[in-house]
Structure 1
Amino acid sequence: MNYTERNHTFVLCAYKESPYLEECIRSLKSQKRKSQILVATSTPNDYIADIASKYGLSVQINTGEKGIAGDWNFAYGLAETALVTLAHQDDVYEYEYTEKILEAINRCNNPLIAFTDYYELRNGRTVKKNKLLLVKRMLLFPLRWKRLWKSRFTRRRILSLGSAICCPAVTMVKTALPNPLFKNNMKSNIDWQAWEELSKLEGEFAYVAEGLMKHRIHEESTTSELLENNKRKEEDLFMYYKFWPRAMARFIEHFYQSGEKSNKK
């Protein structure tokens, strides 16, 4: 199948009153290849409704399962197209994100997900290189070769060393994936857990080695909060245990944590 923008939906996950929500919407509306945009929230308020209305977007309210996984599964289920990207309200997408994602998916025989490299946004500045970003790019380096996109061994080895795939940079092929996709047993590594399960399936993980979205890091972010209260360490170990004996898992986690702590700087 040749996928086009008509087969793709951005579902923007809005929460409370983020000052960055409008910037995210503008980046979605400004895509070179324009696809459908929906807004999903479990915290309906006038702030979200007014901004969505300003850009002609409908807001769908999650009245079911709560929590990050519940919100993501609700958003994922809203898309009626074969392809869906769960946009996070604090993040920004580059002009060519949709175009490059479609190109990558259309190079596949049996695509599961497609994702891009990403940058960070810190205090209004774009950060293209730091310790954590370099580690993730090193992990994903083998996927620069298309012939490895379908290798279950390669993607499991990548995921066994850390959460290298940035969730809001991922476009999912709904027709090839389970629904619901995310488990509500963690706060931070819900996406890593989903990619680990998908890595066992036959199909392709398509990778675009270009920074085509910017992930905002700030003090109120879920990741920063979890690092502050040490919950991230517990969740990381839970994931490493899926790949490694316990002693090796703890050894790997020690080094990966030092990279994650760049969130505080």
Structure 2
Amino acid sequence: MSEALHSFVVPAYGHSPHLRACLDSLRAQSLPSRLHLATSTPHDGLAEIAREYGATLTVHAPNAGIGRDWNRALAQADTPWVTIAHQDDVYLPEFTRRTLAAAAARPDAALLFTGYAELLGDSGAVRDATAMLRIKRVLLELAFLGRDAIARPGAKLRALRFGCPIPCPSVTLARGATPPRFREDLRVNLDWDAWVRRAREPGAFVYIREQLMLHRIHPGSETSAGVRDGVRAAEDRMMFDALWPLPIAGALARVYRLSYQNDA
């Protein structure tokens, strides 16, 4: 039954050493989901991995960045709910069950997301109390005010005005009549931009506070690369400029940059 409701789509980029760990976690869910792999950078063995895990595999071209990869991956799903599972991350066994239960409780949901912790490289160490994680949890509580869901545009935007506390790998989207799309000219904040656009549309944001997935932090991630080469700082400033008067936007961008540089 759950396989008709929910899909995981995995944008497989390059030859990630963590892909199997991600797929193992998806296959170990207490409720099964459909599983799709999509890639613009195929490699020997990827088709065999897809067959091993019972996933469909779609190869697309050209390799035009993370936004294109996410959009092409989303296009593979045909279920009402879809999660973009990042290939380096791990999903705890109750992720799908708790997400679908929350979706059933809020038929107007447009976006659901769970709590998460960070998985450090290949060490297996987990951390859940960094400065950035604390800031994100405070921002979410200020927006949700103890509730599990918010539906007014002002409340949804309040969650996003001081940064992007909604963890992209934990997000499950309602496909609806018009499936969500990400901007393909952004490298880091394409999720923040998408959530802002979603916030202005009908539909509730649902917050599942349990830590139900682990987001891997490693030097090869796109987020880490974006911090190093300045792309994240530029895209953060772009988002703050769209949400605040320019003097406030500049101050917020500086504070935000210091916090993630300390945690990167």
Taking a change above 3 Å as real, the CA distance of residues 180 and 209 of structure 1, as seen in their structure-2 partners, is: closer
Deviation at 1:107?
1.4
Alignment length (residue pairs):
261
Contact 2:41 2:63 in 1 (8 A): no
Unaligned runs of 5+ in 2: none
User: How far is 1:161 from its partner?
Assistant: 0.4
2:87 corresponding residue in structure 1: 89
Comparing 149-158 and 185-194, the one that deviates more = 149-158
Partner of 1:134: 134
What is the CA–CA distance in structure 1 between the aligned matches of 2:46 and 2:137, rounded to whole Å? 34
1:18 aligned to which of 16, 40, 46: 16
1:197-218 CA distances to partner (integer Å, 9 max, x unpaired)?
A: 0000111001101111111110
Q: Which runs of 5+ in 1 are unaligned?
A: none
> Superposition pairs for residues 118-129 of structure 1, below 5 Å?
118-123=116-121, 124-129=124-129
* Percent of matched pairs sharing the same residue: 36
| 1:151 lines up with 2:152 in the alignment | yes
Q: Find the residue that maps to 1:95 and give its secondary structure.
A: coil
What residue in structure 2 maps to residue 169 of structure 1? 170
Aligned-CA RMSD value = 1.7
Query: In the superposition, relative to structure 1, how do residues 4 and 50 fare at CA in structure 2: closer, same or farther (>3 Å)?
Result: closer
Indicate conservation of the 8 Å contact 2:148/2:208, yes or no: no
Q: Give the structure-1-normalised TM-score.
A: 0.93
Residue in 2 aligned with 1:195? 195
Query: For residues 241 and 155 of structure 2, what CA distance do their matches in structure 1 show?
Result: 18
Could you tell me which residue of structure 2 aligns to residue 68 of structure 1?
Answer: 66
Q: Say if 2:148 and 2:207, in contact at 8 Å, map to a contact too.
A: no
Per-residue CA deviations over 1:112-142 (Å, capped at 9, x if unaligned) read: 0110011111132111111111111111114
CA positional deviation for 1:5: 4.3
Deviation at 1:50, TM superposition (A): 2.8
* CA distance, structure 1, for counterparts of residue 180 and residue 103 of structure 2: 22
Q: What's the CA shift string for 1:15-57, capped at 9, x where partnerless?
A: 1111000000000000011111111111111132232232232
> 1:184 corresponds to which residue?
184
The CA distance in 2 between the partners of 1:219 and 1:38, in whole Å, is 26
Q: TM-score, normalised by structure 2?
A: 0.94
